[in-house]
Amino acid sequence: MGVLPPRTVEALRQTMTIYDRVRHVIPEVEWATFAEDVEAIVRLKKERNAIILAHNYQTPEIFHGVADIRGDSLALAREAAKEKNADVILLAGVHFMAETAKLLNPSRTVLIPDTEAGCSLAESITADDVRLLRQRYPGVPIVTYVNTSAAVKAESDICCTSGNAVQVVESLGVPEVIMLPDEYLAQNIAKQTNVKIITWKGHCEVHERFTADDIHAFRKQHPGVVVLAHPECPPEVVAASDFAGSTAHMIDWVGREKPARVVLLTECSMSDNVAAQHTDVEFVRPCQLCPHMKKITLKNIRASLENLTHAVTVPDDIAGRARQAVERMIAVG
Ligand code: 13P
Ligand code: SF4
């Protein structure tokens, strides 16, 4: 490293123990560009009595550097429901995650650093669409993925995530459900239950790009590689992989099985975050970036805590019904 300004040198000194967590995946010269923001965010969290919830797809300097709670969509919803002490909850993730945290914490300030951090699944369906589905399939319960707007959740009976979808579908005790909006998730879940599932045509723009041919190529190029896929991938991709599960299930699998070589068919930052903790595992990286998740940066997290922007709001007439759908999901356990 060349000569650094004294302020950066001091920030590097202050954040050295945090850097130790990501040393394996972030070079020291790159950490020098993060250190001042990390130091400022640590200070701002104390001043604001704020906590940061980060999804597994956040970059390592956020995920390991400044987050207090990390996890998949289910863990973030559960932890948001449990949160009792913080005045401010900042969601390092996408908008539907912040909205879910707000539903579960109506009296607290919930921040999203960039309101443009959306999701192709959440965009694929509206509350009007759900009302039409209810008319078309009277009496069939509607199970809605958390990757949706609060307005869509409000029209649903119960929410689910990729981590609990089978349990949620089976908890209803009915022969048939509508599951929306992710067609591939619904098709993958249908293979694990006797409940008939009516699907919608939404797709995750990240996971829909993986193909079964990709998997055959990885196996050829990287002998012995273990392939883990997210259930938002097309069914033929899940069928060609060795294990499929939510981001948290994939992380647990790597920790438990300690494969010598693994490829995670999901968003790119997952491999970086897991590699930071499992330095003995080789990660093969043909990953896909989520442009929405990548809208969150250390700089806009810092600005968000400084200015309390952007506070998430949900209209009262939607919030009550949407909260019920999320709370029903959490109650399934
Ligand atoms: P999970 O972390 O719940 O598996 O969800 C993945 C995802 O794509 C979130 O946007
Ligand atoms: Fe949405 Fe897919 Fe991005 Fe997750 S990875 S936020 S499901 S577009």
The answer to whether 179 touches 169, Cβ cutoff 8 Å, is yes
d(CA 237, CA 117): 27
pLDDT at 285 (0 to 100): 87
Residue whose CA lies nearest to ligand 2 atom number 8: 119
Band the pLDDT of 286: cuts 50, 70, 90. Answer: confident
pLDDT at 287 over 90: no
Mean pLDDT of 233-240: 98
> How does DSSP classify residue 253?
H
- Asked whether 247 lines ligand 1 (CB < 6 A), one says yes
Among the listed residues 111, 52, 60, the one whose alpha carbon sits nearest the alpha carbon of residue 268: 60
pLDDT at 122 (0 to 100): 98
pLDDT in tens, 177-193: 999 999 999 999 999 99
Q: Could you tell me the distance, in angstroms and rounded to a whole number, from the CA of residue 279 to the centre of ligand 2?
A: 27
pLDDT at 333 over 80: no
Q: Tell me the pTM.
A: 0.97
All residues at 6 or more sequence positions from 302 whose CB lies less than 8 Å from its CB, including other chains = 37, 40, 41, 44
pLDDT at 199 (0 to 100): 98
pLDDT at 247 (0 to 100): 97
**Best mutation site among 293, 294, 296 for ligand 2, i.e. most ligand atoms within 8 A of its Cβ?**
293
Q: What are the φ and ψ backbone dihedral angles of 43, each rounded to 5 degrees?
A: -65, -45
Q: Could you tell me the distance, in angstroms and rounded to a whole number, from the CA of residue 97 to the centre of ligand 1?
A: 10
pLDDT at 2 (0 to 100): 76
- Asked whether 146 lines ligand 2 (CB < 6 A), one says no
Residue with tokens 């590699």: 275
**Domains, the chain, ordered by start:** 6-118+293-307 (3.40.50.10800), 122-203 (3.40.50.10800), 207-284 (3.40.50.10800)
pLDDT in tens, 45-102: 999 999 999 999 999 999 999 999 999 999 999 999 998 899 999 999 999 999 999 9
Helices and strands of the chain, counted as H and E runs: 17, 12
pLDDT at 300 over 80: yes
Q: Could you tell me the distance, in angstroms and rounded to a whole number, from the CA of residue 29 to the centre of ligand 1?
A: 31
Mean pLDDT of 157-178: 98
In this prediction, what percent of the chain has a pLDDT beyond 90? 97
- Asked whether 56 lines ligand 1 (CB < 6 A), one says yes
The answer to whether 192 touches 172, Cβ cutoff 8 Å, is no
The answer to whether 288 touches 205, Cβ cutoff 8 Å, is no
State the angle between helix axes of 73-82 and 316-332 in degrees (0 to 180), rounded to the nearest 10.
110
Here the tokens at position 308 are 């309390």
d(CA 209, CA 90): 30
pLDDT at 118 (0 to 100): 98
Nearest-5° Cα angle at 89, 316 to 60: 135
All residues at 6 or more sequence positions from 36 whose CB lies less than 8 Å from its CB, including other chains = 7, 8, 11
